[in-house]
Each structure stands twice: as C-alpha cells, then as structure tokens.
Structure 1
Amino acid sequence: MKQRAVLLVLIAAALVGAGCAAIAPKAKQHFDLQAHRGGRGLAPENTLAAFSNAMNLGVTTLELDIGLTADGVVVVSHDTALNADHTRDARGAWLTAKPAPSVRSLTLAQLQTYDVGRLNPESNYGKQFALQQPRDGERIPTLAALFAQVQARGADAARVHFNIETKIDPTKPDETAAPEPMVRALLAEIDKAKVGERVTIQSFDWRTLALVGQLAPQLSRAYLTTPRTLKDSRWTAGLDPANFASVPQLVKAAAGASAGPVIWSPAHADLGAPAIREAQKLGMKVVPWTVNQRADMVRLMDAGADGLITDYPDVLRDLMRERGLALPPPAKATS
C-alpha cells in the first residue's frame, strides 16, 4: 500500500511537471544580435579589433560597411572619405585637410598608412563614444582580411554572420565606385571566402540591392530606410514611395519575387508594432538600426523585432539574457 501511494505521488509530480513544461515560455531562437560597425561603442569602428571584440563577446552578426579603393580592393569603411574624427596620418597627427581624401582616390597601400585605432577626444564624435577602448595601429581592413580573421577562429566562428552595407550615395555619384563595379567586387570576395550562406547585403541605395537580386538572387538582402531617403526615389531605385500605402509594401515591391531572404531595416525611432507585424506578414524580417538605449531595445523587442543593430552589443546581450532569449555563443580565438 505504501509503495502504491509513493507511486501515485511520483505520477502526480510528473504530470504537474509536464503541465508546467507545456505552458512554460520557450526561449525565442534566432534573435539577431548585430554589432554595428563591430560594436563601435566598445572598440574602434569597422576595425579588426572591433570585430574580434564582438566575437569574443558573442554576437549573431557583424554589421559593417564597404567601399572600393582606387585599385579596386573592397575595404571596410563607413565613410566615403577619411574621417578626421578617428583618423591620423603616418606621423600620428589628426587629419586637417579639407576635403579629406576619398577612399576611392587612394590605393590600398596608401589607405593603410592611416591609423583608425582611436577617436579624437576633442571631436563631438569622440565625446559621443567616450568609453570606446582605443587600439592604436588599427588600419582600415580589407573585407578579405575580415573573412580570414573569422575563419581562423574555427568551428565556433562558423556561426557568425555578416551584414555588409554598400556605402554609396546616388545623389553624389562621384564620391564612390558606381553600383555595378562595387557589387561585383563585393560578390567576388564573398564567393572567394565561401560565406554566401552567412551574408546579408544591405543598402540605403536600392540600386545595389537590385543588382544583387540579379547577380546573386540566393543572397539575403536588407533594405535600409530613413525618412530622408524615403523622400527621394533616387534612393529607392526609382520607385516612388508616395505610390505605396506603407514602407513595408514599398520594400516588398522593390524586392520582387526574391529567392533569398528579405529584411527591412528602418531607423528605429518611429518604428512600432503595427509596421513590424505588417512587414512580417509580407514575409520579411525586421531588424532596425541603430538601437543604443536600453529602453528602445525593450520597446522594439516587445514590438516583435527579429533583431537589433546596436553599437553596444554587450547591453543587448544582457537584455537578451534577462528575457530568456537564446544567446549567440562567443567565438573565441584559437591559440
């Protein structure tokens, strides 16, 4: 009799446990933690040091920008011209020349004489990211060097994705390479490194995304938007935003019958749950930029965003942990 009572208690406990498991919320998988420019709040933007720091921390995606040098090399740079706020010459002096040399006007060898390893503390930009840890001697890296750095970390880094923005302005065609040579050079580096399954190509200039759709339709594309670019059809590959009921519908039209995944990446400030839900119903993921305040992160996660692009991946990672979301594992450097 005593054994039967014990057995009944065990069965009851098991049933209760099963019921709790059934109603317990599951950790949301695949929330995309993107380190903006490698996490410029923590380390010098778009440098190998920043990307290394982000991988040590544990992120889903390294977000970065690219341009072409005078000799056609794909390099990682947000600015189309050297930025005096974080660039020093070979003598260690902050740049003062105006206009500063454009990336497109310099060969790779010339470009890599400049040091981009710290912020000018006297600049407004430097004051904005005062906690960034300097790394003197960092150069503007090639995209190939970044791919090699990630691959050198072995199996752990095989999970790391890349969100690569083509830095091109349709209103200033002389500042950069034209869309087609830029896209072709970028696709060649992606093919050479065999990382296509882990790459998203993003842009405010949707002409580049249209070319990606033609030349590499299997690749993921992210349509960047801001109120400014949505007022000028030069940014939206000729589509007039006024002809569409919403931005998600505009993005869907631009993407067409895409073979690869489509992402909408809007500026985060005015983004709300209704627009996120609409985009997701149209088959897109929504990954806003650049979200640095914890309160904004909470708001957008509650609204259903599929990921966030942030200068502070450490803050977003802590918030994901608090909310029970699955965390991307660190990709430690191999010894």
Structure 2
Amino acid sequence: MKHIVLLLTYCFLSFSSMAQVFDIEGHRGSRGLMPENTIPAFKRALDLGVTTLEMDVCISKDLQVVVSHEPYMSALYVSKPDGSPVTKEEESNYNLFKMTYSEIKQFDTGKRGNERFPEQQKMAVHKPLLVETIQACEAYIKEKGLQPVRYNIEIKSEESEYGISQPKTVEVFSDLVYKVIIRHLPADRVILQSFDFNVLKYWHSQILNKQYQNIALSALVEKLDAQATFSALGFLPSYYSPYFKILTKEEVQFCHDKQVKVVPWTINTVEEMKQTKALGVDGLISDYPNRAKDL
C-alpha cells in the first residue's frame, strides 16, 4: 500500500511539474532563423526545445488546409515558379483560395530570405499542407527522441474576407481544419487560436455540443484587454494571447483569477522576454526560440 501511495505521489508531482513548464512557442516555427511556416522551420524549433509549435492555416481552392500566414503570396519573401519575385502589386493575383494546392506548391518561400529577419537561412522550400506538417514533425520527434509538443494552430480569418480569400463561412473553414487535426493529433496537444471571434465562438459551441473534441481555445488580440475580450466572446477561453506591449501584471492576475492562461506575442529580444516573463505570464511566442530557450 505504501508503495502505491509513493507511486501516486510521484506521478502527481511529475504531472504538476510538467503542467507548470513555461511555454516557449516557436512563432511560425522559427521565423527569425528559417523560412516561416515551413517544415524546416518547425524542425529547427523542435531542435531548440520549444514546448509548442505555432503556425497559421489558410484554405486552397481545392479545400486543402495550407500552412500560411497570408491567404496570398507575400511580396516580402515569395518567388514565382519562374524564379522571379512576387511584387507588391501582384499579391492579390495570387490568392491561395483561388489556387489549387498543386499550384501553390510551385511557389518558393525561402530562396530569397526575408529582409526583416537577416538571420533567416535561405533555402528552396514551399508552403506545406497542415497534414504534411504534423506528420513530418511527429516523425521528427520520434526519430530524435524528443518530448511531444503542442500545436498552436491559428485560423487566419477576417470577416471582410469571407468568401474572398477564405470559405464563405467560419463553419466550413473550421470543419476543414478540425478534420485534419483530429485525424492526426490528440485533442490535448492542440490549441486553436484566432483573431476572428466568430471562429472561436463556433469552436466553443461545437465543443459544448460534443461535435468537436475538447480542444483548448486561444483569443488573439492586438489592443483589446482581457475583460473586453471575454465579454465579446461570451465565454472564457483557455488562453488570452495579446500583443505583449499591452500587458500588465494586473492584467495577467485578472486572467489567472479566472483560470485563463496568458501567452503574449511576438517577443523577440531577450530583455523584453525577461520583462514579460516577470509579469507572471504562462509562456510567450517568439520568432527566435533560440533566444527564449533559457527562460
């Protein structure tokens, strides 16, 4: 009996320790170091010991879930199939929702690098599917003997873009994403985030109605404080994820009093990481997980 009690105590302490690990999320994988939202970027983040891979998803014309921050080809770093750069004027011509995935795959997203991130390694790479990303990362974790990580998946959605650069409804968009997630990952290793509260409200209702498994929801905001966010949502999300500069210690405590975790974005200098961590946040999102790993 004594041995059983000791074993249960050990398991409880181990679980508590795991639950309290400061969450380092690799933004778009490791955008400061590798081409964003690509499989090499996610593998680099895994090598650096992140606890969560953060990524964005859009939808192609043939209803594939594509890992991409913009629903178009960005002039900042994308090259056309002939090797020439996409220009700012051409961006709207390359709407992912109007392109099949086979067409999307022909565009390079890493050869040119990104002038905003001079440390980023240049390489030939393309926008992957969400399913390919999960499979590649899970295989890499197994191959390297790494600890399992969570996937923080952002649905890139704006009301003004419904039916233009994304499906007409958040229901269709969400269902496409959910089907990929639930086929390949356990629900407790996924966070679903969005700036579009219509998306979060739909996921919340689907979870309540037992149509979706219980996936943690994260409210992304740029200027909205926590109280206003929770009022607008009509429920308490698992995470409040604001732009880091709007956070205060009192705001973090307000969330914690309501059992809501706080994971701000996007923090790239070591000094700002330390200052933000001192507020009592539960984790942070960074383009440079190499700078955050010692926190």
| CA positional deviation for 1:249 | 2.2
What CA deviation, in whole Å up to 9, does each residue of 1:176-233 have, x standing for no partner?
Answer: 2231111000100011103321000000001111111122351100000112xx4xxx
| Rounded Cα–Cα distance in structure 2 between residues aligned with 1:98 and 1:164 | 24
Query: 3-state SS of the aligned residue for 1:53?
Result: helix
C-alpha separation in 2, matches of 1:158 and 1:256: 35
Contact 1:44 1:119 in 2 (8 A): no
Is 1:161 the counterpart of 2:150 in the alignment?
yes
Residue 113 of structure 1, CA deviation? 0.6
Question: Aligned partner of 2:216: which letter?
Answer: S
Q: Could you say which residue in structure 2 is the equivalent of 1:193?
A: 184
Gaps of 5+ in 1: 1-25, 121-125, 231-246, 321-335
Indicate the residue corresponding to 1:250 in structure 2: 228
**Identical-residue share of aligned pairs (%):** 31
Structure 1 position 264, deviation (Å): 0.2
In 2 relative to 1, CA 263–212 (structure 1 residues): closer, same or farther, beyond 3 Å? Answer: same
- Identify the match of residue 127 of structure 2 among 101, 120, 140: 140
Q: What's the CA shift for 1:27?
A: 11
- Partners of 2:19 and 2:198 in 1: CA distance: 34
- Whether 2:161 is the aligned partner of 1:183: answer no
Which residue of 2 is the match for residue 225 of structure 1?
221
Partner residue in 2 for 1:330:
none
Residue 158 of structure 2 aligns with an amino acid whose one-letter code is D
Report SS of the residue matched to 1:153: helix
5 Å-filtered alignment, 1:9-88, equals 29-88=20-79
Q: What is the alpha-carbon distance in structure 1 between the residues aligned to residue 146 and residue 131 of structure 2?
A: 15
1:171 is paired with a residue of what secondary structure? helix
CA–CA distance in structure 2, aligned partners of residues 38 and 45 of structure 1: 6
Closer/same/farther in 2, CA of residues 159 and 179 from structure 1, 3 Å limit: same
1:275 is the counterpart of 2:251:
yes
Out of 241, 257, 264, the residue aligned to residue 288 of structure 1 is: 264
Aligned in 2, Cα 1:135/1:251: closer, same or farther, shift over 3 Å?
same
| Per-residue deviation, 1:253 | 3.6
Q: CA–CA distance in 1 between the matches of 2:249 and 2:111?
A: 38
Instruction: Using structure 1 for the length normalisation, give the TM-score.
Output: 0.76
Instruction: Check whether the contact 1:83–1:100 (CA below 8 A) recurs between aligned residues.
Output: no
Please tell me whether the aligned partners of residues 150 and 157 of structure 1 are also in contact (alpha carbons under 8 angstroms): no
Instruction: Please give the root-mean-square deviation of Cα atoms over the aligned residues, in Å.
Output: 2.0
Gaps of 5+ in 2: 1-16, 209-213
Shift of 1:254: 4.8
Distance in structure 2 (CA, Å) of the matches to 1:78 and 1:130: 19
In the alignment, residue 196 of structure 2 is paired with which amino acid? D
Q: How many residues get paired?
A: 268
